Amino acid sequence: MTILQNALDSIALGVEDYELARTDERRFISCTRNIFAGILLLFKHQLSELSPSGSDEVLIKQKIMPRMEDGELVWVGEGKKTVDVQGIKDRFQSLKIETDWKRLDEINRYRNDIEHYHSPVSAGSVQKMVSNSFLVIANFIRDYLEEDPRELLGEGVYDV
């Protein structure tokens, strides 16, 4: 499975959880987790695509090591750990990739609160999170993946 497919699946699962939360409010938690994970995976997909060939996806790796190859210094990713939110922000900034960080930080705070602090979850607060998420997702898909969000996500997911 590719990073992009993993991102799309996570977003789709989040939307399914959102719809299932009408009858089981516990689904709001997994909705939030899945959609946020999907956003991060979309971002990592872009970083992976920008990583030089043979670099072991250097731009998504947390640990980056220098190597000498044919007398030239190259940077390669090492290990399985990938960048966190701050690492993505730093790399996007240096690569001049723009996204709505204010909105993403708000989504992340919401996710963190319901995951770690058992904050009260309401349909309205989750609806706002889903709406904010889709603005970030659709704009990123359009601007950087150069795809139609409705086509890439699928009409069913997009329409929700």
Q: Dump pLDDT digits (tens) for 28-49.
A: 889 999 999 999 999 999 999 9
With a cut of 80, say whether residue 120 has pLDDT above it: no
Dist CA 9 CA 18 (whole Å): 14
Residue 25 binned pLDDT confidence (cut-offs 50, 70, 90): confident
The larger pLDDT score, comparing residue 160 to residue 17, is at 17
Helices and strands counted in the chain (H then E): 7, 2
Cβ 136 vs Cβ 39: under 8 Å: yes
The region, left, alpha or beta by phi > 0 then psi within -120 to 50, assigned to residue 71 is left
Stretch 126-148: mean pLDDT: 95
pLDDT value, residue 124: 81
**pLDDT > 70 in the chain, percent:** 97
- pLDDT value of position 144: 97
Confidence category of residue 121, pLDDT binned at 50, 70, 90: low
Q: Is 100 exposed, middle or buried (0-12, 13-18, 19+ CB in 10 A)?
A: middle
Q: Is the pLDDT of residue 118 over 90?
A: no
- C-alpha–C-alpha distance, residues 94 and 48, integer Å: 15
Task: Tell which wins on pLDDT, 54 or 90.
Answer: 90
Q: Stretch 133-155: mean pLDDT, rounded? A: 96
